[in-house]
Structure 1
């Protein structure tokens, strides 16, 4: 089994822009949210910094951090 590789460092002399790391959004238990794929939902579980468990009515989904496709209402 291979070990996960470390992210490549950005060289200051590189002609390419440095990679941008998205900042994780913050949600709390009971927040109403909207998701690009699943629609409207409510946060029913929190795994700090890792994932949110969201009830979308017809299904429950575990949404992983940084929650780029999910917004608070």
Structure 2
């Protein structure tokens, strides 16, 4: 089961990239008219933000796929 995140706050997952693989999706429960963006930031320099749209939405749950995350990193020259 995931962690709850208060509105307008952040969640830091140390070494989060080791948890991302093609076998998983990130799911975010939300309320509102549209799904939230998943925003990733470089913890060392804060030099880039990667914004990822949900790949699918179902009954107030937004899903973010490995492929979308990998493509967003690639667009910023990050592997």
* TM-score (ref. length: structure 2): 0.28
Considering fraction of residues, name the structure with more helix: 2
Larger radius of gyration: 1
